Amino acid sequence: MTKFDVAIVGGGPGGYVSAIRAAKLGLSVALVEGRELGGTCLNRGCIPSKTLLKNAEVINQVKDAKKFGIQIDSFSFDLNTMIERKNQVIGQLRNGINSLLKANKIKLYNGYGTVDNQKIISVDMEEKTEKLEAESIILANGSKPFVPNLPGLSDIPYHTSDTIFDIDQVPGHLTIVGGGVIGLEIACIFHSLGTKVEIIEMADRIIPAEDKEASNFLEKELKGKGILIHTSTKVHSFKKNEKTKVQIEKNGKETSLETDGVLVSVGREPNLIGLDNLSVDYDGKFVKVDDNMQTSIEGIYAIGDLIGGYQLAHAASEEGIRAVNHILRENNKKDFIMPRCIYTFPEIASVGMTEEQAKAQGYQVKSQKIDLAANGKGIASSENNGFMKIISEKKYGEILGVVMAGAHVTEMISQATSFMYLEGTMEELEDMVFPHPTLSEAMFEAAAKWLGKGIHY
Amino acid sequence: MAKEIFMPKLSSTMEVGTLLQWFKEEGDSVEMGEPLFEIMTDKINIEVESYEEGILLKKYFNVDDEVEVNACIGYIGEAGEKVPDSPPAPAAETESEEKGQGNSSVETAGKTVSANADSNENNDGKIRATPAARRVSRENDISLSAISGSGPNGRVHQHDVEQAIAEGRLAVTPLAEKIAADHGVDLSQITGTGARGKIEKQDVLSYLESVNVSDQEPVASPAKRIKLKGLRKAVADKMVESVQTIPHVTLTSDVDMTNVIALRKSLLPVVEKDTGYRLSFTEVIIKAVASALCKHPELNASLIGDEIVMNKEVNIGLAVAVENGLIVPSIKDVNQKGLAELTQISKELGRKARENKLKPDEMRGSTFTISNLGMYAIDAFTPIINGPETAILGVGRITEKAVAVDGELAVRPMMVLSLSFDHRAIDGAPAAAFLTNLKTNLENPYSLLV
């Protein structure tokens, strides 16, 4: 039986990043993956959605061209080519991971692994079962779409994020159950492809975990484009007819709608394959860990979607790095300062606490929101829809959170993260020079206005 | 190219500085950062370091010369370089810059010392550091207390600070710095856990928590903290300087004040009619001290560098308590003044001191200082010498005590005099002789008329 310093179960952004980091720090590493390298993120999540969102963006630009004085009389698109491009992108990135694993001398086992309390992993490799032993194990099993037990759902063909990116026909009407990040991004893709999209969200607003102003802003924007959004609305049942009939209820009033396709995006549940023989503690559905990502069994760690929490690729990577740190006898003391990105049109990006969370934690909160409506670069590029909002604590000007809404904000949020990570305060933010013309100038304006000396506001 | 040496501006009110000593002679080689000369203002005296290295080519002024701020007082350069025979006219800083002759270093010198004199960096009261070291530490926000000095007596030099900076010992995030400042926490007490030891918010909070826990009692509201600044800072620096450099010895003697009381009683209406002020014991003591100083001039001397300067004038400084500090106006040529004039001057100086209206001239030049705590229930104390003076007299209260007079027990008004002297300049015997003489003067005040 081969013995390793670390064995990692799962080759997604949590698992493969931990594997490379551990190898870089001198440990011998095995990586066990039953499917494709890259996990949900690369194969069925972040990357395919961003690839197709780019297609959608191009379509939007073509439709919008007239406003810029460019006449495009007619255009058409080919869904197959789009899906092909998506698969090429995935293939390229998957090969990249593969060569990184080789370069770092990480032993890859292709098969599902079953882990026991003695830190022995049995890998099911079709014709044979291979066993390996490790000093430490990192469980990075990931998650799968959660499909609620709704009446009639099993009788109709429905999509989850696992299948929708390989769709072969653009539906005329798409019902999306769940107004979270995944549902909204897919809504934007299909809306641009010409689908009539209808979103059904049980909570009183879309992206309920995000800042309320961002949520309200996005809802208004999406509705303005023609996407139908039903909040505080429950799905009662599905019925297969010529079209699918969806029975919904809002405020006690039942109505129904007819649709060509259904996407279920109400959340994700942990992938517990191979954990049956392991007696780790759980926190609800998720594996329970401490600050160092260690489970209730010493030397067995868990990261990523398996432990719940952020359920973001970069969160999984960071958690994996922390687990490796702890395997190397280093404690992780710092709290996460986790950026969150939503790639809708327009985008939402945020980091740290929402205003509601900051208040709930007892901070003396003073927020400052700056609208992008008057932003020079925004007006010039017709992308002046949105805002930047800084949530700060009054006494020291500590930045507790930042919310950005608008074009390209996912690329700008790291400015805010840097500031928070390096513990800069509102005074330094105001003192820093921002280039003109940029959308990011709004950060300066927000800080300046917060200090009572805004220039344009 | 020879570089000018300027008289630094030590404070916003400073117009001239008195050269106390040169540490180098013409022709000596000077290292950058080496003490070059010492100056005194009405507030402080300070060693000024060289900001150039080379040969001291010219000294235009001698010890005790008063030199205008920003005036050129000498040159440093290479051996054999020609420099003017007389000092060039003082140039304003901006003009110097326009000339572009490497004056930036000199400008820095001015800034350095000036900022040091007004410095807010007060946690370092007990720390010996060169002005350059203080400047660098201030610019980099590093507390001098965290740095071990390589100089004599642990004096912190510029390169010590630079080394500490290079080691990045006190990197701190803006937020952590604000929180620490808000709680009056000395950052040097905190171990940073960030990249390369950077102090972060959590480090400060953990430190505050540990301090509170070790106090064993919940801190309802933090103690009020007052920053040492202005006069308080000047007094603090001066006291530390005096105590750290001067070996103090304090002698005490009981004085029978019966005759002084009688003298004062008979002169009170006379002086009041003459000046409008009431004669107090202080003026009689000043007069008696002046008389004793004339007979014991070593107590009227100043120790400057390695020289004992035998002052010709007898100028007596009077320690006056003012809001937030202590200042010492001086009465000039006391030996030539009568009690009426002394009363008038001392009362006016006291009033001006309390009203913060003393002119610089009225605050300098004292050769001996008297500190009178007789209005309180104080008998004797150990006064701290007002350097570069060599002695100070502490005056206690007059109180009736049982004493033996000619073999009989008698109740007499007694007062204790406490004389601190600089043992580097004076030995015990002459100081004792002075105090004995003073006691005799006070017990027989009519002898002052002789």
- The annotated binding site of A is made up of 50, 113, 178-185, 201, 267, 305
B202 and A424 within 8 Å at the Cβ level: the answer is no
Contacts of B201 in chain A (CB under 8 A): 398, 423
Which whole-number Å values give the CA distances from B410 to A181, B296, B405, B414, B417, in the listed order?
101, 32, 6, 11, 20
pLDDT band at B123 (very low <50, low <70, confident <90, very high): very low
Look at B201 and A425 and tell me if their CB atoms are within 8 Å.
no
Minimal-distance CA residue of chain B relative to A427: B174
Q: How many CA atoms lie within 13 A of A212 on its CB side?
A: 7
Q: Which of A333, A395, A423 sits opposite B174 (nearest CB)?
A: A423
Strand A399-406 with A347-352, pairing: antiparallel
Cα A193–chain centre separation: 22
> Is the pLDDT assigned to residue B152 strictly greater than 90?
no
At B57, list the tokens. 């080519």
List Cβ neighbours of A81 (8 Å cut-off, separation of 6 or more).
none
CB contact under 8 Å between B202 and A427, yes or no, is no
**Residue A377 pLDDT level (bands cut at 50, 70, 90):** very high
Query: In the predicted model, what is the mean pLDDT of chain A?
Result: 96
Inter-chain CB proximity B200 and A423 less than 8 Å: yes
Cα separation, B352 vs B368, in Å, equals 20
Lookup: tokens for B143? 């507390």
Burial A32-64 (b: 16+ CB within 10 A, else e): bbbbbbbbbbbbbbbbbbbbbbbbbbebeeeee
Q: Say which residue the tokens 């400042």 belong to.
A: B181
d(CA B105, CA B127): 25
Look at residue B94 and tell me whether its pLDDT is greater than 60: no
Residue A360 makes CB contacts below 8 A (sequence gap 6+) with none
How far lies A63's CA from each of A72, A118, A347, in Å? 8, 60, 19
Q: Looking at the complex, does the CB of residue A396 fall below 8 Å from at least one CB of chain B? A: yes
- Identify whether B427 is a catalytic site residue: yes
- Span A337-371, pLDDT tens digits: 999 999 999 999 999 999 999 999 999 999 999 99
Determine how β-strand B316-318 pairs with β-strand B368-372: parallel
Query: B216: which residues sit within 8 A by CB, 6+ positions away?
Result: none
- pLDDT single digits (tens) A234-264: 999 999 988 999 999 999 999 999 999 999 9
Backbone phi and psi for residue B393, each to the nearest 5 degrees, phi listed first: -110, 125
Of B153, B234, B239, which is closest to residue B420 (Cα–Cα)?
B239
CB A262 within 8 A of CB A200: no
3-state secondary structure B39-89: EECCCCEEEEECCCCEEEEEECCCCCCEEECCCEEEEEECCCCCCCCCCCC
Residues contacting B91, CB < 8 A, separation 6+: B70, B72, B99
Query: What interhelical angle do A181-192 and A46-64 show, nearest 10?
Result: 40
Taking a C-beta distance cutoff of 8 angstroms, is the pair A300, A275 a contact? Answer: no
Between residues 197 and 226 of chain B, which touch chain A (CB distance below 8 Å)?
A: 200-202
With bands split at pLDDT 50, 70 and 90, how would you rate the model's confidence at B166?
low
Residues forming a β-bridge with B331: B316
The rounded distance, in Å, linking the Cα atoms of B261 and B22 is 48
CB A243 within 8 A of CB A260: yes
Closest residue, chain A, to B179 (C-alpha) = A396
- The torsion angles phi and psi of A32, rounded to 5 degrees, stand at -110, 120
Task: Identify the three-state secondary structure at position A14.
Answer: coil
pLDDT in tens, A42-59: 999 999 999 999 999 999
> Is B174 close to A425, i.e. CB distance below 8 A?
yes
Q: What's the count of helices (H) and strands (E) in chain B, helices before strands?
A: 12, 18
Give yes or no for A455 touching B (CB within 8 A).
Answer: no
Give contacts of A423 with chain B, Cβ < 8 Å: 173-176, 200-201
Q: Which domains does chain A have, with CATH numbers?
A: 2-144+269-327 (3.50.50.60), 153-266 (3.50.50.60), 346-450 (3.30.390.30)
- Tell me if residue B203 is catalytic: no
**R_g over Cα of chain B:** 26
Residues B422 and B385: beta-carbon distance below 8 Å: yes
Domains within chain B, CATH numbers bracketed:
3-118 (2.40.50.100), 133-214 (4.10.320.10), 246-449 (3.30.559.10)
Alpha-carbon gap, residue B395 to A266, rounded angstroms: 88
Nearest CA distance, B127 vs chain A (angstrom) = 30
pTM over 0.80: no
pLDDT band at B167 (very low <50, low <70, confident <90, very high): low
CA distances from B301 to A295, B65, B290, B422, B426 (A): 79, 18, 13, 10, 9
Percent of chain A with pLDDT over 90: 96
CB B56 within 8 A of CB B28: yes
Q: Each residue of B325-372: pLDDT tens digit?
A: 888 899 999 989 999 999 999 999 988 888 878 887 888 889 999 999
Instruction: Work out the pLDDT band at B221, boundaries 50, 70, 90.
Output: low
State which residue of chain A sits closest to B201, comparing Cα positions: A423
What is the spatial distance between Cα A168 and Cα B70, in angstroms, rounded to a whole number? Answer: 85
* Tens digit of each residue's pLDDT (9 = 90 or more) over A124-142: 988 899 999 999 999 999 9
| Residue B176 CA: distances (Å) to CA of A290, A364, A423, B123, B202 | 26, 18, 7, 18, 8
Contact between residue A399 and residue A388 where contact means Cβ atoms under 8 Å apart: no
Comparing CB atoms, the residue among B179, B200, B202 nearest residue A396 is B179
C-alpha R_g of chain A: 24
Q: Which residues contact B206 (CB under 8 A, 6 or more apart)?
A: none
Rounded Cα–Cα distance for residues A313 and B131 (Å)? 54
A81: closest CA of chain B, how far (Å) = 48
Rounded Cα distance between A185 and A200, Å, is 14
Q: Does B178 touch chain A if contact means CB atoms closer than 8 Å?
A: yes
Cα A189 to Cα A44: distance, rounded to the nearest angstrom = 15
| Average pLDDT score, chain B | 82
Which among B176, B182, B193 has CB closest to A423?
A: B176
